[in-house]
Amino acid sequence: MMVEEQSSLTECALFQSLDPGRLTSLLGRVRYGRRQYALGETVVRSGEACDHLRIVLSGMLRSEMTDENGQVVEVEMLAPSRCVAPGFLFGRDRRFPVEVKAHQDSSLFIMERGSLIALFRLDDTILENFLDIVSSQVQFLARRLEEMAFGTIRKKILDYLHDLSREKDGYCRLDRNLEELSGFFGVARPSLSRVLGQLEREGFIQRKGRGRYRLVSLDKAQ
Amino acid sequence: MMVEEQSSLTECALFQSLDPGRLTSLLGRVRYGRRQYALGETVVRSGEACDHLRIVLSGMLRSEMTDENGQVVEVEMLAPSRCVAPGFLFGRDRRFPVEVKAHQDSSLFIMERGSLIALFRLDDTILENFLDIVSSQVQFLARRLEEMAFGTIRKKILDYLHDLSREKDGYCRLDRNLEELSGFFGVARPSLSRVLGQLEREGFIQRKGRGRYRLVSLDKAQ
């Protein structure tokens, strides 16, 4: 392994807080490999079994939601030190959710799941680092789902205000009270109040008394 | 612990494939507790540090997205054998994302993170079970995000077809080619083709030659 590859490995979140000498000694006790990929080469296909840990040593990978699932194509760049889909090595559905290709000539560290478990047994730091990586992914995804759900209420409210007829001063009067409105939007009443408050604080809407709102800028808010 | 509580514990995914005798002996080597909650009592607050593993032994818990975050309120029921937010015990943001309350009089098994790590050290099955639980959560959340994104393209396409003017036979002619349309929807061209194909197979739209589609039922498709 070249010097820069070695440092990509020690800087990987999986080996965080681990002495490089200790890492070398631990890796001497398990099986692992290294593989090169030329620009454009496929590293893993979407749906392929995920039974090896892969860490980018050099170059750059590009992951994308493939069209086989009919999804929006989403792309993530994986720079040196990044693990490839660590959240899919265990669990019910151990298959790559994405297609991964070499975006540059790249070099990868590859290790079977069994060797990874052996490392967990040999070193608590590695185990806790892995738990941190996967758990952080749960936390990130849960937050993104919340944001998407949240974005939906925001959009509903702004669209609704946009559609209401205006008074002369630009204010519109809600034609439902908050209770009715929360039923109309299919959200809990406190959530609705909270989103309205947030939109007001962010300057997207202005409130003038009970149930009267002015839309400051629809474009800015969406 | 009562007999039914004991069986809730052995049936927990964390202890799957583990001999009950072995589990008892392992639990004898770490610290853990048990706590009762009366109906309506708060078990954990949203934002509270998540440094204990909690497993439902009896009764029923109810988790909800609280309004402090302005999110849609989502509710999950946690029956006996279920862990409470296992994906938040490790990782960057070790805080409960939800409020959890006792939906019935309930009894919980409670163990500090440190004891859980000690169990991982004592038994590989427990470690792999925990990795499975958290990874399955990544996989579930990733799928839900995909579905939400997917739902968005479907809806865009159906709305677009709905808005196009109709020919006499009920077919409408696309006013853009697929290339232009994918730019219009902001999705990759193959994704667009895939969604169109899927909508056709599911019977929501019918295709008649190049660029001519008939909307079978908008209500059914959304």
pLDDT of residue A222: 41
pLDDT over 90 at B83, yes or no: yes
For chain B positions 179-208, those within 8 Å of chain A (CB to CB) are: 187-188, 190-191, 193-195, 198
Same domain for B15 and B109, yes or no, is: yes
Statement to judge: residues B183 and B98 lie in one domain: no
Cβ–Cβ of A92/B139 closer than 8 Å?
Answer: yes
Domain presence at residue B211: yes
- Distance from the Cα of B195 to chain A's closest Cα (Å) equals 5
Residues A113 and A150 reside in one and the same domain: no
**B129, part of any domain:** no
What is the pLDDT, as a whole number, of residue A149?
A: 65
- B153 and B108 in a single domain? The answer is no
Q: Are residue A29 and residue A111 in the same domain, yes or no?
A: yes
- Structure confidence by residue, pLDDT tens digits, A105-124: 999 999 999 999 999 999 99
φ and ψ at residue B35, rounded to 5 degrees: -140, 145
Most confident of A15-29, A180-194, A202-216, B55-69: A15-29
Of B74, B120, B138, which has the smallest distance from its Cβ to A137's Cβ?
Answer: B138
Q: Which residue has the higher pLDDT, A13 or B220?
A: A13
Flag whether A136 is in a domain.
no
Q: What is the pLDDT of residue B152?
A: 67
- Furthest CA-CA distance within chain A: 78
- A152 and A118 in a common domain: no
Choosing from A73, A91, A122, the residue where a domain stops is A122
Check whether B200 has a pLDDT greater than 60. yes
Place of tokens 């990130």: A140
Lowest mean pLDDT among A181-185, A218-222, B21-25, B152-156: A218-222
What length does chain A have? 222
- The pLDDT score that the predictor gives to residue B220 is 45
Closest chain B residue to A125, measured at CA:
B117
Do A112 and A201 reside in the same domain of the chain? no
Q: Which residue has the tokens 């006013």?
A: B175
State whether A100 and A154 are in the same domain: no
The pLDDT, as a whole number, for residue A68 is 41
Closest residue to A145, CB basis, from B94, B133, B145: B145
Contact yes or no for A156/A195 (Cβ under 8 A):
no
What is the DSSP track for A147-163? HHHHHHHHHHHHHHHHH
Indicate which CATH number applies to the domain containing B59: 2.60.120.10
**Last residue in a domain, options A122, A153, A180:** A122
Residues B202, B97: one domain?
no
For B107-147, the pLDDT digits (tens) are 999 999 999 999 999 999 999 999 999 999 999 888 877 76
Residues 74-93 of A with CB under 8 A from B: 74, 87-93
Q: Which of A184, A189, A146 is nearest to A164 (CA)?
A: A184
* Closest residue in A to B190 (Cα–Cα): A67
In single-letter form, the type of residue at position A126 comes to: I
* ipTM over cut 0.90: no
pLDDT the model gives residue A72: 43
Residue A191: which domain range? 144-221
Please check whether residues B37 and B80 belong to one and the same domain: yes
Chain A from 144 to 163: CB within 8 A of any B CB: 144-146, 148-150, 152-153
Where does a domain end: A122, A157, A188? A122
Going by C-beta distance under 8 Å and a sequence separation of 6 or more, which residues neighbour residue B18?
B10, B26, B123, B125, B126, B129
Q: Which residue of B has its CA nearest to A64?
A: B188
Per-residue model confidence (pLDDT) at position A220: 45
Residues A8 and A110 in one domain: yes
Residue B137 pLDDT: 92
Nearest chain A residue to B114, by CA: A128
Q: Is residue A134, in this structure, part of any structural domain at all? A: no
Average pLDDT over residues B197-202: 79
H helices of chain B, where? 3-10, 20-27, 113-122, 124-163, 178-185, 189-201, 218-221
Same structural domain, A110 and A154: no
Q: Note whether residue A129 is domain-resident.
A: no
CB contact under 8 A, A65 and B135: no
Cross-chain residue pair A120–B120, CB shorter than 8 Å: yes
Residue A127 domain-assigned (yes or no)? no
Give domain status of residue B38, yes or no.
Answer: yes
Which residues of chain A are within 8 Å of residue B125 when distances are taken between CB atoms?
Answer: none
pLDDT band, very low/low/confident/very high, at A99 (cuts 50, 70, 90): confident
Taking each helix axis from N to C end, the angle separating B124-163 and B189-201, rounded to the nearest 10 degrees, works out to 80
Chain B contacts in chain A segment 2-61 (CB below 8 A)? none
Count of C-beta atoms within a 10 Å radius of residue B128: 17
pLDDT at residue B49 tops 90: yes
pLDDT at residue B74 in the model? 58
Domains contained in chain B, number: 2
The domain that holds A148 is classified in CATH as: 1.10.10.10
pLDDT in tens, A3-24: 888 899 999 999 999 999 999 9
Classify residue B213: in a domain, yes or no. yes
Cβ–Cβ below 8 Å for A88 and B144: no
